[in-house]
Amino acid sequence: MMRLGIIGLPRSGKTTLFNVLTGEDLPTGPLAGGGRFDVHTAVVDIPDSRLDALSKLLKPRKTTYAKVTYADIGGLQIGSGREELPGPLMNQLEQMDAFLHVVRAFDDPTAPHPLSTIDPARDHMAMETELLLHDMLMVDRRLQRLAEERQKGARDHGVIDREIAFFKHLGASLDRERPLRTLDFSIEETQILSGFSLLTRKPVLVLINLEEGEAIPVLDVSDGAQMIGIQAKLEMEIAQLAPGEAQAFLAEYGIEESGRERIIHACCDLLEFLSFFTFNEQEGRAWTLRQGSSALEAAGAIHSDMARGFIKAEVIAWDELIALGSIAEARAQGKLRLEGKDYKMADGELIYIRFSV
């Protein structure tokens, strides 16, 4: 399950966005949060029209969507990264797969900006700087410990020296204000980093919180982040409507896809996730995997016994099955392909696992 952390300066619209994404109705405005450490979480379905179409065709007793956890994380603000972040805040941040960084571009006299003026480029860089400062602190501490470890002779000097060179490389990137997500790491380096909570490694989707009718401002997101614009206040109103009313509202404003759907699709792309589907009489279900995952990994995501006793996978693209009209027709025409454990899954495939335990 994806875990996405919503961060940003106070009064940027983080909780408004949380309400958009989750359908919650948490209080928003100048008295909500106020820069204090506070976390709201919710687990919600990932909408998927492909799963809807397959369920309509195959008619399982229930349909289960893939899930995403959203966390509205307060307390990360200017000055936070200059010293060690509080344990509860750090615990929340390090659990996230990616960050949704809400940047304020709207003016609201009832909720003055904490820095007095509206400047999206400044606010984007301010939050990025806090994450950079945190990682600099972590890297410096690791280099100090490695130096002490080398002096004590606790491990092979060659191994320690390679680790020192690696962390110096990380420090040099951070000194140039280049987040660690812009770097490529070997398998060995990724293993070294697995024990460290370096926040600039995490993917970031920058969400420019716009006034109605406002154009997206020009921001430098060459730091490896991606960016989209959203009218969070308007989208919150839409999210709290009944489905039929919401569709009519979107059509009236000429919005082809709701903000909730745009954001989750952007996050799947950002994290390089794909979706696949399983169906039987009882349930039709969507699952998520990293792009490049194998049929064996898909089987393991469904149940460990399927991976342990994997024989073959029957696979078909969702739209091909819709065109054929039934699983029986797909089998009759030889379109339900048999694939081995190393087969690389593609987005939107339906899979049946043959296994024996």
Each residue of 82-104: b (16+ CB within 10 Å) or e? eeebeeebeebbeebbbbbbbbb
Q: Which of 27-36, 137-146, 293-302, 330-339 is predicted with the least confidence, judged by mean pLDDT?
A: 27-36
pLDDT at 24: 87
* Contact (Cβ atoms closer than 8 angstroms) between residue 267 and residue 2: yes
CA distance 123 to 235: 22
pLDDT tens track for 2-60 = 999 999 999 999 999 999 999 888 887 655 555 577 899 999 999 899 999 999 999 99
Question: Which residue's entry shows tokens 């110096």?
Answer: 168
Q: Say if residue 76's pLDDT is above 90.
A: no
What is 214-231 written as a DSSP string? PPPPP---TTS-EEEEE-
Q: Give every CB contact of residue 42 below 8 A, 6+ residues apart in sequence.
A: 18, 21, 22, 24, 69, 70
φ, ψ (nearest 5 deg) of residue 232: -60, -40
Q: How confident is the model at residue 193 (pLDDT cuts 50, 70, 90)?
A: very high
Nearest residue to 94 (alpha-carbon basis) of 102, 84, 103:
84
pLDDT per residue over 108-164, tens digit each? Answer: 888 899 888 999 999 999 999 999 999 999 999 999 999 999 888 778 888 899 999
23-37, 175-189, 202-216, 247-261: which has the highest mean pLDDT? 175-189
**Mean pLDDT score, 291-315:** 97
How many Cβ atoms sit within 10 Å of the Cβ of residue 257? 11
Kind of pairing between the strands at 38-45 and 67-74: antiparallel
DSSP assignment of 318-354: HHHHHHH-SHHHHHHTT-SEEE-TTPBP-TTEEEEEE
Domains of the chain: 292-355 (3.10.20.30)
Q: What pLDDT, in 10s, does the model give residues 310-326?
A: 999 999 999 999 999 99
Per mean pLDDT, which range of 28-32, 68-72, 92-96, 228-232 is the poorest? 28-32
What local confidence, expressed as pLDDT, does residue 32 receive?
A: 55
Spatial separation of the C-alpha atoms in residues 126 and 66, rounded to whole Å: 34
pLDDT at 143: 96
Q: Give the integer Cα–Cα distance in Å for 349 and 169.
A: 40
Cα 134 to Cα 80, 107, 128, 129, 142: the distances in Å are 8, 30, 10, 9, 13
**CA-based torsion, 240, 242, 243, 245: positive or negative:** negative
* Res 211: pLDDT: 87
Q: Of 225 and 206, which is predicted with more confidence?
A: 206
Question: What integer is the mean pLDDT of 93-97?
Answer: 93
Q: Which of 75, 71, 81 is nearest to 24 (CA)?
A: 71
Q: What is the mean pLDDT of residues 206-230?
A: 84
- Provide mean pLDDT across the span 185-200: 91
Listed in sequence order, the residues at least 6 apart from 16 whose beta carbon sits closer than 8 Å to its beta carbon are 28, 209, 232, 233, 236
Q: pLDDT at position 307, please?
A: 97
Distance of CA 21 to the CA centre of its chain: 13
Report the SS3 class of residue 243: helix
Looking only at the bridges linking them, the beta strands covering 98-104 and 2-7 are parallel
How confident is the model over 243-252, as a mean pLDDT?
Answer: 81
- At 80 the pLDDT is 62
Question: Which of 79, 72, 83, 82 is closest to 24 using CA atoms?
Answer: 72
Mean pLDDT (the chain) is 90
Between strands 349-355 and 337-339, the pairing is unpaired
Three-class secondary structure of residue 293 per DSSP: coil
pLDDT band at 223 (very low <50, low <70, confident <90, very high): confident
Instruction: Map tokens 């989208």 to a residue.
Output: 235
DSSP 167: H
Task: State what percent of residues in the chain have pLDDT above 70.
Answer: 96
Query: At 85, is the secondary structure helix, strand, or coil?
Result: coil
- 83 pLDDT band, cuts 50/70/90, is low
Instruction: Using the structure block, give the residue that is written with the tokens 């009313």.
Output: 245
Question: Which is more confident, 353 or 259?
Answer: 353
Q: Which residues pair with 6 in a beta bridge?
A: 72, 100
Cβ contact 140:83 at 8 Å: no
